[in-house]
Structure 1
Amino acid sequence: MASVYVSDIVNAPADKVWALARDYNGHGEWHPRIAESSIEDDLSADQVGCVRNFTLSDGGHLRERLLSFSDLDRAFTYTILVSPMPITDYVATFRCTPVTERDATFVEWWATFEVDEKDEADIRHAVGRETFAAGIRALADRLE
């Protein structure tokens, strides 16, 4: 099983970062890789079990199911159902934690997945750098 973990500090209060990031379908508003996104079956974007169906800026298509959601923990976990990447058993978590010594937020985003060894370096880069790190920086740019 492969894994990717990315974290960074966003210089904005955790409640403010979470208010933007908590919309499971709102990533198109702040993430540079998302072209368009919708929640299937008219479910709420914070309803466990909802599926977001989205297109990447490069034309790739994904469907992801929300597995857990907590405003208390400022976190959600999801799994990929359909992806252009050669992966299976993908589960990711996004979490915001207050930095108590200043009004900032520790943002973490991590995933585990199965991938062929020949593809692992490319997938780890695509998920870790192009998706997670780019997304956290985009949140920071939007809020700082």
Structure 2
Amino acid sequence: MSNAYASVELQASAEQVWQLIGGFDSLPDWLPFIPQSGLSEGGRVRTLKSVGGDVIIERLLDFSESQRSYTYTILQGPAPVRDYQSTLRVQAQGRGSKVEWFGSFTPENISEAEAQAMFEGIYKDGLAALKQAMEG
């Protein structure tokens, strides 16, 4: 099992950040490389479309409003991994907040280092876009 992690500190409160990113269907609101998202199965499954046209289907595994976090798995997508599970979490930090995005997965047909670099890049780019959306 491999892991990837990224975090960002924001000047916005944890409540403000969670308001933007806390919905399982909210990726298009802050993540430019995912312009489309649709929910099914009572909001537990999201179908995403990337700017490149890839379709990614993910299932919500755990959601906590009080902890400002959710965990999901990829059911279908182009990533060369299996057993993918990821968490997006917002924590209060002083007057601002810290957002963490991390996951675990088993690489398939690529090295562990390549898989880790791929997901760390996705997480870092996504959190940089979030910082831009929150702070301008």
TM-score by length of 2: 0.92
Counterparts of 1:126 and 1:56 in 2: how far apart (Å)? 15
Task: Give the 3-state SS of the residue equivalent to 1:118 in structure 2.
Answer: coil
Counterparts of 2:77 and 2:60 in 1: how far apart (Å)? 15
**Residues 75 and 113 of structure 1: is their aligned pair in 2 closer, same or farther, counting only changes over 3 Å?**
same
Q: Which amino acid aligns with 1:93?
A: T
* 8 Å contact kept, 2:82–2:108: no
- Structure 1: any 5+ residue segments left out of the alignment? 45-49
For the aligned residues, what is the CA RMSD?
Answer: 1.4
Structure 1 consecutive aligned stretches of length 4 or more whose deviation exceeds 6 Å? none
1:18-45 CA-to-partner distances (Å, cap 9, x unmatched) read 000101111012102102110014x24x
Partner of 1:69 in structure 2? 63
Counterparts of 1:89 and 1:67 in 2: how far apart (Å)? 13
Q: Does 1:51 find its partner at 2:51?
A: no
Shift of 1:136: 1.2
Shift of 1:120: 3.1
TM-score by length of 1: 0.87
* 8 Å contact kept, 1:90–1:111: yes
